[in-house]
Amino acid sequence: MAQRMKGMASGNPSVVTAKRSMGISKTYAAMTAFFIILAIAAWNPAYYSHAAGANSTTSNSSLVSNVLSKAVPSATGAGAPGGIAFLAVPLDVIPGIMVSMAVLILFVYDKNSGVLEYMLSLGMTPRDIYMRYLKAALLLAAPVMVIFAAGDILYISALFGTATAATLLPVQLITIPFSLAVVTFMVIAMMAFSSLQKTRAGSNQPIGLVVGYAATIPAYLTAIFLPFSKAMYADIVLAVVIAIVSLSFLRYSGKLIKREKFLP
Amino acid sequence: MHTLKLDGVSSGYNGKPVLHDINFTASESSVYVVLGPNGAGKTTLFRTIAGILEPMSGKVLLDGKEIGSAKEPRGSINYLSHYNALPDEMTVYNALRFYSGMEGGDPDRVIDLLGLEKLRDKKISDLSQGQKKRVSIGKVFLKERALYLLDEPTANLDPGLSKEIRDLILKLSKDRLVLYSSHNLYEASDIGMNLILIKEGKLAMFDRISNVRSKEYRVGIRASKDITKIVDARKDANGYYVLTVSKPEEAGLALKKVVESGVLVTEMRELDNPLQELFDGKGGV
């Protein structure tokens, strides 16, 4: 038992931070599971059925997907997979965001309880601290997104057949790096806004959430206005841009956000 | 032996200075008591020395190395904030493991040293304020450092434990520098050898506590007989004969006179603390 306890509190700092996050915010784990199920069973089939042209899949698709397939125009015409399938990409970041919220809760908690101040006194820089929590968020979000993508592929195969699932595979494959890029951006934005808030009960953290999620807006536009193949490349470019912006902020965070902002 | 030097240090928050042009060199291995009224800048001083706040001007040097963004000198400092900085969701043992993972040290040794065995598997959130403080102090003893910055370490502790902690800190200070802030003036004079007085963000005094002089001393004497006819004293409500003198030596002469008159003296104590006058702005050296 002692060994197990030792393992919990020592070792890789990001693993410890990730475990602590899950320990204090179990609700977010439950919410993550809920959104994974909702995405796999409800909204993704709707976009996919429309994007696949609803040829052989009409009989299997849900009422929601039928309604959507009529309501949302395909950018490429009937019979070809539409870029609208890529609406799944910005929406599917939600489970990743949800699970990393627990890390953000921990960040604010550690700031208020003086843990961050103690870390600074040990010689950590603001960037070290941000990296610690960011890595923890990515450690939680990455497996969630991989499991989610795998579950999505399996469900789509069962629902529409393996051929359709293979056609839509790029969507799930892009969802993983895109989600991790958005999670990186959102976590950094939320930590930065939390660092800047003057009062403990301030509401800057949700501002970070809104700013972070705003990064996904271009992905909605590419899904609506571009054909499948172009939407795919556009989302890859978007993921790279979001990641570069996030990591650039992280690199200069020490200069942009002063150490005093980490004090309780 | 270590040396802490503050050279023209001004520091504060959001561009507004709290500390103004602080200069001192602490090189004697001992406890330096940091005194000052609330808001004087004691915590800001500690945070600046710890490298948490960057000085707006001036330098903080530990053994000749500037403390700032460099990690190495900051690794030689331990800062105990008046926030407990404990992860509430962890057990006492895991919390100490959490910190030993960051800075090194042996949690088992700390548990033995501070008698935390009974609390070992309790969650931090289930502890009383005093117990939390005790665990928080445990962080100080995880690893040996050159300089300890202890911001009111005995606040919320019962007198017995306060004494134990003070004894441990005194032991620590034999070959290290300890800066210790307290609002308890008797505790300060008990533990400290040197005094750093901060007032309105400025260094008001840096000296040995033994050099702090009062304008007058009140000495209480318990005796077997009335001594008011032997020396100039009055009896107070607590049963002390109170003698007011301008120098400590005069109290000794008065005591000698009382004893030579055949009166049995059972107790003699200083009734006021010279440090109190520093707070009130009357003291000096």
Nearest-Cα distance to chain B for A123, in Å, is 5
Q: Is B90 on the interface with A (CB under 8 A)?
A: yes
- pLDDT of A79 > 80? The answer is no
Q: A230 CA to chain B: closest CA distance, Å?
A: 47
Percent of chain B whose predicted confidence (pLDDT) is above 90: 47
Question: In this predicted model, what pLDDT tens digit does every residue of B158-192 receive, in sequence order?
Answer: 888 888 888 889 988 888 999 999 877 777 778 88
Distance from CA of A37 to the nearest CA of B (A): 29
Confidence of residue A72 (pLDDT cuts 50, 70, 90): very low
pLDDT tens-digit map of A213-264: 888 999 988 888 888 888 889 999 999 999 999 989 888 887 778 888 888 8
pLDDT for position A205:
67
Interchain CB distance below 8 Å, A13 and B102:
yes
Chain A: residue whose CA lies nearest to B70: A123
Contact B133, B84 (CB under 8 A): yes
- Model confidence at A127: pLDDT above 70: yes
Say yes or no for a CB contact (<8 Å) between A117 and B74. Answer: no
What does B9-33 look like in DSSP terms, one character per residue? EEEEETTEEEEEEEEEEE-SSSEEE
The pLDDT confidence band at residue A4, using thresholds 50, 70 and 90, is very low
Whether A56 shows a pLDDT value over 50: the answer reads: no
Report the 3 state secondary structure along B70-125: CHHHHCCEEEECCCCCCCCCCEHHHHHHHHHHHHCCCHHHHHHHCCCHHHCCCEHH
Contact A23 B89 (CB under 8 A): yes
Neighbours of A20 (CB within 10 A): 24
For residue B94, report the phi and psi dihedrals to the nearest 5 degrees: -65, -35
How close is the nearest chain B Cα to the Cα of A194, in Å? 16
How does residue B157 score in pLDDT terms, banded at 50, 70 and 90?
A: confident
Q: Which residues in A lie closer than 8 A to residue B81 (C-beta atoms)?
A: 114, 117-118, 121
Residue B268 pLDDT grade (very low, low, confident, very high; cuts 50, 70, 90): confident
Q: Which of A11, A115, A263 is closest, CB to CB, to B87? A: A115
Amino acid making up residue B59: K
Residues of B in contact with A110 (CB under 8 A): 87
pLDDT one-digit tens code per residue, B22-44: 999 999 999 999 988 888 899 99
**Average pLDDT value for residue range A141-149:** 93
Q: Quick one: pLDDT band at residue A70, thresholds 50, 70, 90? A: very low
ipTM: 0.81
Question: Which among B52, B96, B97 is the nearest to A259, CB-wise?
Answer: B52
Mean pLDDT of chain B: 87
> In chain B, which residue's Cα lies nearest the Cα of A23?
B89
To test the contact with chain B by mutation, choose from A105, A112, A115, A255 the residue with the greatest count of B C-beta atoms within 10 A, namely: A115
Query: What is the pairing mode between strands B147-151 and B77-80?
Result: parallel
- Where do the domains of chain B lie, and which CATH numbers do they carry? 4-211 (3.40.50.300), 217-280 (no CATH)
Report d(CA B50, CA B101) in Å as an integer.
20
pLDDT mean over A43-63? 57
- B44 interfaces chain A, CB cutoff of 8 Å: no
Compute the average pLDDT of residues A29-57.
75
Cβ–Cβ below 8 Å for A260 and B50: no
- Provide the shortest C-alpha distance from residue A188 to chain B (in Å): 21
Enumerate the residues of chain B whose CB falls inside 8 A of the CB of residue A117: 47, 52, 81, 83, 85
Average pLDDT over residues A51-63: 46
**Highest mean pLDDT: which range of A152-156, B19-23, B36-40, B126-130:** B19-23
Helices A13-24 and A26-38 meet at what angle, rounded to 10?
90
pLDDT band at B143 (very low <50, low <70, confident <90, very high): confident
pLDDT bracket for residue B222 (50, 70, 90): very high
Check if A263 contacts B (Cβ < 8 Å).
Answer: yes
The arithmetic mean of pLDDT across residues A27-41, rounded, is: 88
Contacts of A103 in chain B (CB under 8 A): none
Structure confidence at residue A69 (pLDDT): 45
